[in-house]
Amino acid sequence: MRTFSVEDIRRCFAASEDFNEIFDAFQAALAARLGELELYRQLFANRALTADEVRLFGEKLAAEFPPLAYDIFLWLASQFEATVSSEDNYDLAFHYYRKAAGVRPSEPEPYVRAFDCHDPDLNIPPAAALIEFLHRGAELVPDPRRIHLCLAQMYDRGGDPDRGENFRRRAEDPGPGGSPGPSA
């Protein structure tokens, strides 16, 4: 295998269009235990890679550097959310928001960002799955008010304004948590 300097890896991740070269640079980065997330963001943004290739690299990186897993999954989700392709990538974005929440379940960001990527016209990600995810987050996040606002909007969109209003009131409640279970 070719020897890569950190600068070679950086250049390859940013500009190479050859999967084999990118893969070799990735292997060299792992072997050197390069745990700098900014370096891998260049890799994930490389337009020559397919969604499956980006997922391959991201999953491997998260396994190799567990302390970076949350940030890796959030970054992958945002990349798939922003990617326009012949396939709709909102499902992949939602998949990675769920993985990020699995790593840090008490952080509100994955739940709120998953809500933000919902396309109600296409129902992607599926409203039922998103509502379930938001309910789980409302139970786990210390201050679930932002998640309650998301739930209020989801119920409003789904034609249940009473539940929407219920969650809007909970979002305005400054009390400790005040989070309902999924049956609310």
pLDDT tens for residues 10-43? 999 999 999 999 999 999 999 999 999 999 999 9
Q: In this predicted model, what pLDDT tens digit does every residue of 94-103 receive, in sequence order?
A: 999 999 999 9
Q: pLDDT-derived band of residue 184, with 50, 70 and 90 as boundaries?
A: very low
Whole-number Å distance between alpha carbons of 46 and 15: 7
46 and 112 in a single domain? The answer is: no
**CATH code, domain with 82:** 1.25.40.10
What is the structure's pLDDT at 123?
A: 87
Domain total in the chain? 2
Whole-number Å distance between alpha carbons of 51 and 119: 20
pLDDT of 183 > 60? The answer is no
117 and 46 in a single domain? The answer is: no
| pTM for this prediction | 0.86
103 and 54 in a single domain? The answer is: no
pLDDT of 152 > 80? The answer is yes
Q: How many CB atoms lie within 10 A of CB 86?
A: 4
57 and 79 in a single domain? The answer is: no
- For the record, the structure tokens of 169 come out as 């009131």
Whole-number Å distance between alpha carbons of 176 and 141: 11
105 and 165 in a single domain? The answer is: yes
Q: How many CB atoms lie within 10 A of CB 148?
A: 26
What is the structure's pLDDT at 173?
A: 82
The one-letter amino acid at 52: D
Q: In this predicted model, what pLDDT tens digit does every residue of 46-84 receive, in sequence order?
A: 999 998 999 999 999 999 999 999 999 999 998 888 765
52 and 105 in a single domain? The answer is: no
- Terminal-residue alpha carbon distance, the chain: 57
Q: What is the mean pLDDT of the chain?
A: 90
